[in-house]
Structure 1
Amino acid sequence: MRVPFFVTDSSPWKYCLAFIMLAVQLPGFAQGPVLKGTISEHDNPMPGVTVYLEQLNIGTVSDSLGTYSISVPSGTYWTKFSFTGYKTVRVKLTLHQSQRFDVVMEEDITQLDEMVVNAQAEDHNVASVDMGVSTLTMKTLSKMPAFIGEVDIIKSMLLLPGVTTVGEGTSGINVRGGNSDQNLILLDGMPIFNPSHLMGMFSVFNPDMAKDISLYRGGVPAQFGGRASSVLDISVRSPSTKKSFQGGIGLVANRFLFETPLIKDRLSLIIGTRFSFSDYLFKVLKSSSLRNTKANFYDITGRLEYLKGNDRIYLTAYNSTDVFKLPSDSISNGNIPPATDYRWKSNTATLGWIHKFASNLSLKSALVYSKYNSVISSHEVPNDYDFKSDISYKSMKSDLSWQKNAHQAIGGVELAQYKVNPGTLIPLSDETDLSLPPLQSEQGTEMAVFGSDEVHLQRWLTMQAGLRYSYYFNTGPSTVYAYAPGKERDIKYITDTIHYSKHERIASYGGLEPRLAFNMRLGPKSSIKIGYSRLRQYLQRITNTTASLPTDRWQLSNTYVKPIISDQFSVGYFRNFYQNKYEASLEVYTKNIQNISDYKGGADLLLTPLPETVILQGKGKAYGLEFQLKKNVGRLTGWLNYTYSQTMILIESTNPNEQVNNGKWYPANYNRPHSLNLVLNYSPNKKGITYAANFTFSSGRPTTYAYNRYYMGFLQVSNFIDRNQDVIPNYHRLDLSMTIDPMRAANKRFHGSWVFSLYNVYARKNAYSIFTKTNGIHSAIISSDAYKLSIFATIIPSITYNFKF
């Protein structure tokens, strides 16, 4: 019998329905004149520019076509137009009737000497409704000390509050108690399933192609969904109307970027690429077993834009390829044995159209395609093979933005399709003595409708209310097994086999995802913010390794694997000092997680044909406190933040084989209670020399050691009892850099700069993990020694030359 599964709940919506009804009924500001216009640079529209009316403490942001609109009471106001890297325009406007005011922005080259943390109004920290949101620009990141000369977007996120990682040399991040696969990473709306190059040493994003980076770790807007922890939204820069060429030469990778107009004031193109030549780094290592390691990558990002009237059409594409070849640990007869190759590739593209119906009404639509492939190859005859897996994603998304009086509303729909091929083993020769049938592929469809509105209820009270409804279903062709009631899910307890044909529905899930936030102004310099959000995740990565790997397996929600659901509540106090030169914030949050996944001990997740027999789902809870102090202007700029957090998991069952830690709460393997980050940037003069320093500290993450060991014949068996009850040593590191970036002369097109950096200045041997080796048996007791594995155990200098003309 085929019984489709359906789960829905709408109870959280009841808590915010009354508030949304209140927002509709209250008028906000009285109807008044409308200030509107277009913001541009060299006839190129500029989205994201802040428009701020000082006396009213209100503002707005220009949309994708560079237009803005805001309704205000009659009067005279100082109005500022600001964007990072451009000169601020400040004008005095008298508004007794609706008025149009267009602005042309000019690049502020001298501003490169300052570290600007975001592109918002000076008091955005206090005035906005945003909670748990950080925005960085590439000009900010370019001033930070880089690892081996490479500015890294993902690793820069680790300097923000509430963001940690399981260890050095990994690109995955953990945000407010979420696993690394619970982060939705978008590049111009394209999901990136593996954000790492070189097994996690670098991220896949070309810093020259990025415009703005926003991390939503608290208040996730209603237009985003599909992940249970956070959203990292990276926008690709639009091509300039002027032809230019720039790049960088470093120790590991070279970068080149070219942009040019194809049709004047209509069609323009920008292409950026990176490629590595890092094999030589392994040649100088003392270990002979590592000298033949090969690690190379390349990535290319491009954007084509067409502008005409109220329309903008763009095509963004991204491609990356990695090759990592790890030789054997031993050498025989002077010859290195056959090695294992790891290869992974991403291909993504998005076609978008933005249309402006009126100054306050615009439509944005996009078609998105993303595919990720990974291959593990073994060349050891006779067991030589390729193990291939992939995941593909297709989506259509359209949203309508509207501004009127005190309202800033957005609404839209989204449709996405997933297909996961967990793996196929392909023998490379007739002598290969391996047999593994292809793992069963999975298909899923996710649909969503969303809407949100930001409204000023009173001069001192602003509300942002959003609602997203998502519905997901898993379809055939597929085979689903039924297990004996009361027994653990194991192959020996299979009682029935159910076959589903193509497009036949297998399991369904869905429900409401309310998002709600309030800003209560306590005065011109401080405010209290309160927020709540619910997120659902229908796709997750299954792995029992500490760090995520490019070959990890992905799993869609189905009959037995339920979607992850998280509910986060947060409250914060925000305060600015000394004419908004300093910003301070203190946020407290708590998060409840349903259907969080863990795994049976010793499970082989990569090759198992029945993943539901090794996946265990239970409850999770996370809570924490985040403090941050920032200085945005002056010769010395930067920030200091401290985070206290805890993440606990409970996997309980009536069957002892499906419990973890005897059915008691235990810390997640990425739990780090304490973390502290200090980022400083000092420009002693206007000659273009900038000094930067980063210091980071975090508690050791949990680990599991064997309780004891014993022998069964000649086989040594380790006995593990409690999971994640020990911790590795604390982590801390200092990085320094100096940037020589002389001011560009007005009559010269060529501009060059040098970046010198030191990573891990005091050469601390930070532990990535602790492992043991047996050194003998004494009186029937197995004796072993503990060893510490460090990824980067010494100081690493680097030099990079950047140029533009």
Structure 2
Amino acid sequence: MRLNIRHFLLFSCFFFFAANSFGQDEKKSIELKKILDVIALQHNVKFSYAEEDIFGHSIFPPAATLPLKAKLIYISNRTNLLYKESGDYIIIYTGRKNDSKRLCAYVIDEYGQGIDNAVIQYAGDKKIVTGRDGYFELQKPLNGNIIVGQMGFESRIIKPQDFSGEDCKEIVLSLEMLELKEVVTERYLTTGISKKKDGTFSIRPDKFGILPGLIEPDVLLAMQQLPGINSIDETVSNINVRGGAHDQNLFMWNGIRLFQTGHFFGLISALNPNLAHEIKISKNGTSAFYGESVSSAVDISSRPADIGKGTASVGSNMISTDFYTKVKATENANFEISARRSFTDVIDLPTYSKYSKRIFQNTIVTELNNSTDVNYKSDKEFYFYDFTGQYHQKIADKNDIYVDVIGINNRLDFTQGTITETNVVTEISNLRQLTLGGTAAWRRKWSDRHSSEFGFYGSYYNVDGTNASIEFNQVTKQENKILDAGFRLSDSYRLNPLFNLKTGYQYNEIGIKNSDRVNEPEYSRSVKEVLRTHALIGELEYDSEDRKLYSRAGIRGNYIEQFAMAYAEPRLQVTYMPDNAWQIEFLAEQKSQTASQIVELQGDFLGIEKRRWILANDKDIPVQRSRQASVGVTFKDKGWLVSLENFYKKVKGITTYGQAFQDQLELVQQQGSYTIVGTEFLVQKQFKGFYAWLSYTWNDNNYSFNGITPDRFPSNFEIKHTVNSAAIYEWHNFKIALGSKWYTGKPVTLPLNTAAADIAPNAAGIAYASPNSDNIGNFFQVNFSASYTCKIRDKVRLQLGVSVLNIFNRRNIINRYYRLNNTSDAIEVVNTYSIERTPNALIKLIF
């Protein structure tokens, strides 16, 4: 493993050193003809010229980042040649220059990217705007100064004499950090991801750039690139934020809590990437308006403030096809519809084959003493679909009405067989997973200082499985059903320019039903529980006059009717920015949740979706409570971003059933807690169209359960060390990303012997070592993605993309457990492997 780590470190360092190599200009004269050939490729144009006109001209090449017109002026000034544009053709010729030259310039940001639609004000009140590449021209002579500005950037004043050089002037605009009170860091990891002043991370799918392995803005896969967020089994249905379990995260879509987040049982997000307008992710210091989670909160909002214009898209990758449309019904109303369906039940493409092999891995187990393989073969028919519908109505300028619906469905028919000494045995199982939700909301803007919102919601979740066992001729029917409904009222009032007061009330009723029926031996169970919760919320925001200090303090008061339980949850967030480069942040919170997931048996729901939701009963299943605090510092200047954050988190009220043990604790039911301390570090460099980043996360995550020895041992979700890296290049509409992920293997409990032992009177089983006292092998994966968007005609674009997961086809073990062979009493080891090398491709038409 030492060799693998060395290769990984060399591979990560390559990203940073390669950037410097790519950025160096070759300082030597080059024939003009070769320079024109390069420019033609860079800007997709064609040059027309007479050979005798350009013969003998040799100059230093212009910088690759210059706009096309700036390059033409650069060449003209050094060769005395003239140019004329005619469509996609540029004619180069000799002639007499006009003495009435134009002044030319181009406007770029701090990273060398052209700023589109920057406003150029000159000669008093005359205005023009820059083109897509930031270029503009002005006619001589000029009277007075020129003001260059764009929203989100600091304006600059340019004097006419500043255009004294022969070439086009480069005007750099800096981000206006202090005026945007919420935004602290733009382009966090990639375009479309930013960190806000309140400590949350924001993802804008419509602005999304590219990340390694992703060709679409899949929010649940993208968030796993953030430091401190990982998936212990590489799925979106098992996301671990700072060592927490997946069910300890709150996922909301337009106010609806989602109990199902993945298709393909976690390999694909259940949320259509065409849909969301903004996603907010909070790891700590969560707003008091969010409850029911002891870990992170992920709020997905697809409600725009304005009616906007109509648009549509249709696309397909190698798993599914999708459709999205936004129709402007009237000047004050629109509706949006999105739908996606897999074609995996019709066409078996390579991507589906790899995904299928990962999720439905044939069970191959090996006896430790003689390495005998036992194989089970399977056949399956699987598909999924999801849809959303949204309606937005504006009434006058002060009222907005929203109505939203969502549906998510997975369906699997699973035939499993094996060959015995006498015959072939087959059994048919099936699994259905369904989510339906709806919400309506009314927003009222009473004045510039005062606004309110009222909304109600309801959601239904059901997973229904039939598991037919080959070994025992046993059929088990299971169902996990949730009905969640409630309403919310919130009010925001700006007391003065420095203070903003937010208050609210939330009511929620949730019912969860669990049913089991077994044919042999005959058994039936049905349990239904209901909880009703009230919450009063108060939150005060402070933003200093110089915008250097921002603070948000809130408190959430909860009351659970069935338990007659009342308790408060304080939240605090403080950000101090001594200047534009430095930011210091402190976050703290207390949170709770009443609904959680458990694993009663690893074979439940075919062993694929084995977790079931349950409600706290204030007895053997308590309300989970968490405390968390973190302090961090961020430096951002001249394309560098460096951040360091240390955190502490403790969660009480967990149970062994909720932690998915697969060792001596699998059938033990005890209450306990886990405590985690950790560090998250990120360094990122951006310049021109190239940027690279490297992140490192360390954590120490330990359980403590009543009556279990030892009294402290590693968590099932502990990933001690994680290193992520990526190199991304964006040039106009072309984007490419290469990245790697390395982390230490999850804890595992080893057997003490190779055969069954007497663990109780007249009971043979596996004698285990101390829980989680060892680890499986380290995980390493390299991913690639690229995309290109071309304009077919006005308002019509074609997007193409390719990606490859696990380029080197590394066989990573992501889970391991042990079991007894039914006939020989030998101990068998069962490994689950990560996804193999998996290609994917995307084609999408946007109009």
Which range, TM-score by smaller chain? 0.7 to 0.9
Deviation string, structure 1 residues 665-700 (Cα, Å, up to 9, x no partner):
0111010011111233202x33x2211122111111
Is 2:798 aligned against 1:752?
Answer: yes
Q: 1:509 aligns with which of 565, 573, 583?
A: 565
Is 2:390 aligned against 1:303?
Answer: yes
Length-normalised TM-score, structure 2 = 0.69
- Supply the distance in 2 between the matched residues of 1:283 and 1:526 (Cα, whole angstroms): 48
Is 2:592 aligned against 1:525?
Answer: no
Deviation string, structure 1 residues 746-789 (Cα, Å, up to 9, x no partner):
x5232112101111011110102234588999xxx987675643
Is 2:290 aligned against 1:224?
Answer: yes
Q: 2:391–2:403: 8 Å Cα contact kept in structure 1?
A: yes
- Supply the distance in 2 between the matched residues of 1:335 and 1:453 (Cα, whole angstroms): 68
> For residue 511 of structure 2, what is the amino acid of its counterpart?
K
Deviation string, structure 1 residues 194-245 (Cα, Å, up to 9, x no partner):
2111121112010001121221001101111111011011112549643332
Q: Secondary structure at the match of 2:274?
A: helix
- Supply the distance in 2 between the matched residues of 1:601 and 1:228 (Cα, whole angstroms): 15
> Residue 704 of structure 1: CA displacement?
1.5
Q: Secondary structure at the match of 2:265?
A: helix
Question: In the alignment, what sits opposite 1:485?
Answer: none
> For residue 833 of structure 2, what is the amino acid of its counterpart?
S
> Residue 414 of structure 1: CA displacement?
0.4
> Residue 137 of structure 1: CA displacement?
1.9
Question: In the alignment, what sits opposite 2:809?
Answer: 763
- Supply the distance in 2 between the matched residues of 1:253 and 1:344 (Cα, whole angstroms): 18
Q: 2:765–2:820: 8 Å Cα contact kept in structure 1?
A: no
Q: 2:659–2:716: 8 Å Cα contact kept in structure 1?
A: no
Q: 2:551–2:573: 8 Å Cα contact kept in structure 1?
A: yes
Q: 1:570 aligns with which of 609, 614, 630?
A: 630
> Residue 289 of structure 1: CA displacement?
5.8
| Pair 1:301–1:602, CA change in 2 (3 A) | closer
- Greater mean deviation of Cα atoms: 512-521 or 314-323: 512-521
Is 2:708 aligned against 1:676?
Answer: no
- Supply the distance in 2 between the matched residues of 1:649 and 1:205 (Cα, whole angstroms): 33
Q: 1:776–1:784: 8 Å Cα contact kept in structure 2?
A: no
Q: 1:374–1:390: 8 Å Cα contact kept in structure 2?
A: yes
> For residue 311 of structure 1, what is the amino acid of its counterpart?
N
> Residue 601 of structure 1: CA displacement?
11
| Pair 1:339–1:433, CA change in 2 (3 A) | same
Is 2:186 aligned against 1:134?
Answer: no
Q: Secondary structure at the match of 2:446?
A: strand
| Pair 1:787–1:512, CA change in 2 (3 A) | closer
Is 2:586 aligned against 1:543?
Answer: no
> For residue 760 of structure 1, what is the amino acid of its counterpart?
N
Q: 2:432–2:465: 8 Å Cα contact kept in structure 1?
A: yes
Is 2:833 aligned against 1:790?
Answer: yes
> For residue 564 of structure 1, what is the amino acid of its counterpart?
Q
Q: Secondary structure at the match of 2:193?
A: coil
Q: 1:515–1:532: 8 Å Cα contact kept in structure 2?
A: yes
> For residue 295 of structure 1, what is the amino acid of its counterpart?
F
Question: In the alignment, what sits opposite 1:717?
Answer: 765
Question: In the alignment, what sits opposite 1:552?
Answer: 611
> For residue 801 of structure 1, what is the amino acid of its counterpart?
I
> Residue 452 of structure 1: CA displacement?
1.1
Q: 2:752 aligns with which of 698, 703, 707?
A: 707
- Supply the distance in 2 between the matched residues of 1:723 and 1:354 (Cα, whole angstroms): 52
- Supply the distance in 2 between the matched residues of 1:90 and 1:231 (Cα, whole angstroms): 36
Q: 2:255–2:457: 8 Å Cα contact kept in structure 1?
A: yes
| Pair 1:439–1:785, CA change in 2 (3 A) | closer
Question: In the alignment, what sits opposite 1:729?
Answer: 777
Question: In the alignment, what sits opposite 1:399?
Answer: 490
Q: 1:472 aligns with which of 560, 565, 588?
A: 560
Question: In the alignment, what sits opposite 1:666?
Answer: 713
Question: In the alignment, what sits opposite 1:325?
Answer: 413
Deviation string, structure 1 residues 33-56 (Cα, Å, up to 9, x no partner):
xxxxxxxxxxxxxxxxxxxxxxxx
Question: In the alignment, what sits opposite 1:196?
Answer: 262
Q: 1:597 aligns with which of 655, 674, 691?
A: 655
Question: In the alignment, what sits opposite 1:484?
Answer: none
| Pair 1:549–1:156, CA change in 2 (3 A) | farther
Match runs of 1:162-561 below 5 Å:
162-169=228-235, 171-238=237-304, 241-262=308-329, 264-279=330-345, 280-281=348-349, 292-309=379-396, 310-331=398-419, 337-378=426-467, 384=475, 386-403=477-494, 404-425=496-517, 435-456=522-543, 459=546, 460-474=548-562, 507-543=563-599, 550-560=609-619, 561=621
> For residue 232 of structure 2, what is the amino acid of its counterpart?
V
Question: In the alignment, what sits opposite 1:739?
Answer: 787
Q: 2:404–2:439: 8 Å Cα contact kept in structure 1?
A: yes
Q: 1:600–1:614: 8 Å Cα contact kept in structure 2?
A: no
- Supply the distance in 1 between the matched residues of 2:455 and 2:557 (Cα, whole angstroms): 20
- Supply the distance in 2 between the matched residues of 1:733 and 1:592 (Cα, whole angstroms): 31
> For residue 784 of structure 2, what is the amino acid of its counterpart?
L
| Pair 1:524–1:750, CA change in 2 (3 A) | closer
- Supply the distance in 2 between the matched residues of 1:236 and 1:315 (Cα, whole angstroms): 11
> Residue 440 of structure 1: CA displacement?
2.0
| Pair 1:766–1:585, CA change in 2 (3 A) | same
Q: 1:298–1:322: 8 Å Cα contact kept in structure 2?
A: yes
Q: Secondary structure at the match of 1:337?
A: strand
Q: Secondary structure at the match of 1:763?
A: coil
| Pair 1:145–1:641, CA change in 2 (3 A) | closer
> For residue 513 of structure 2, what is the amino acid of its counterpart?
N
| Pair 1:324–1:584, CA change in 2 (3 A) | same
Question: In the alignment, what sits opposite 1:158?
Answer: 224
Deviation string, structure 1 residues 718-741 (Cα, Å, up to 9, x no partner):
122421111111111111112121
Is 2:678 aligned against 1:624?
Answer: yes
| Pair 1:237–1:733, CA change in 2 (3 A) | farther
Is 2:736 aligned against 1:691?
Answer: yes
In the alignment, structure 2 segments of 5+ residues that lack a partner are 1-146, 158-185, 363-374
Question: In the alignment, what sits opposite 2:641?
Answer: 583
In the alignment, structure 1 segments of 5+ residues that lack a partner are 1-76, 83-87, 93-110, 475-506, 606-610, 653-658
| Pair 1:522–1:602, CA change in 2 (3 A) | closer
| Pair 1:308–1:516, CA change in 2 (3 A) | same
| Pair 1:601–1:78, CA change in 2 (3 A) | closer
Length-normalised TM-score, structure 1 = 0.72
Let me know the Cα RMSD of the aligned residues: 3.5
> Residue 802 of structure 1: CA displacement?
1.1
Q: 1:390–1:421: 8 Å Cα contact kept in structure 2?
A: yes
- Supply the distance in 2 between the matched residues of 1:798 and 1:512 (Cα, whole angstroms): 48
Q: Secondary structure at the match of 2:222?
A: helix
Q: 1:564–1:596: 8 Å Cα contact kept in structure 2?
A: yes
Q: 2:559–2:566: 8 Å Cα contact kept in structure 1?
A: yes
Is 2:170 aligned against 1:116?
Answer: no
> Residue 392 of structure 1: CA displacement?
1.1
| Pair 1:545–1:801, CA change in 2 (3 A) | farther
Question: In the alignment, what sits opposite 2:183?
Answer: none
- Supply the distance in 1 between the matched residues of 2:202 and 2:686 (Cα, whole angstroms): 13
Q: 2:249–2:297: 8 Å Cα contact kept in structure 1?
A: yes
> For residue 321 of structure 1, what is the amino acid of its counterpart?
N
- Greater mean deviation of Cα atoms: 191-200 or 623-632: 623-632
- Supply the distance in 2 between the matched residues of 1:448 and 1:78 (Cα, whole angstroms): 49
- Supply the distance in 2 between the matched residues of 1:463 and 1:582 (Cα, whole angstroms): 26
Q: 2:412–2:430: 8 Å Cα contact kept in structure 1?
A: yes
